[in-house]
Amino acid sequence: MIIEYIILAIFICSFAGALLILARKVPVLNSLPQNGTTGIRKHHYILQVENKVKEFFTFFEKQIYLHKLLSWVKVMTLKIEIRVDHLLHNIRKKSQKVDSKSNEKK
């Protein structure tokens, strides 16, 4: 029972401390700009470089290289499967011809 009161007292003190800190910081938070900028304009060269860097990183985030590589591997695998299928088909035809010739001789 005493432990619960101690825990409740610690919780109330912590909550009051958080409210005190928040109350002291509200005026500072209200003075900040709403859109997140500090008011300093950046030069257009800097903005272009930032945009290029963002495009570069989004290129990797979307995993375009991985997509292209996997698509290429899929196409090559399908081409190899088709070639193997044709070879197997030709081998089966030849095997049937050999079987039919051997059956005719008997």
Length of the chain: 106
Q: How confident is the model at residue 38 (pLDDT cuts 50, 70, 90)?
A: low
**pLDDT at site 29:** 82
Sequence ranges of the domains in the chain: 1-34, 63-106
The single residue listed with the structure tokens 């500072």 is: 28
pLDDT at 47 over 60: yes
* Measured distance between the N- and C-terminal CA atoms of the chain, rounded to whole angstroms: 102
Radius of gyration of the chain (CA): 37
**pLDDT at site 87:** 97
Average pLDDT score over residue span 13-18: 96
pLDDT over 90 percentage in the chain: 49
pLDDT at 39 over 60: no
Looking at per-residue pLDDT, the higher value among 35 and 48 belongs to 48
Looking at per-residue pLDDT, the higher value among 21 and 59 belongs to 21
Helices (H), 1-106: 2-31, 44-61, 64-105
- 39 CB-near residues (< 8 Å, 6+ apart): 33
**pLDDT at site 10:** 96
**pLDDT at site 6:** 95
Q: How confident is the model at residue 95 (pLDDT cuts 50, 70, 90)?
A: very high
What's the angle, vertex CA 19, arms to CA 13 and CA 23, rounded to 5?
145
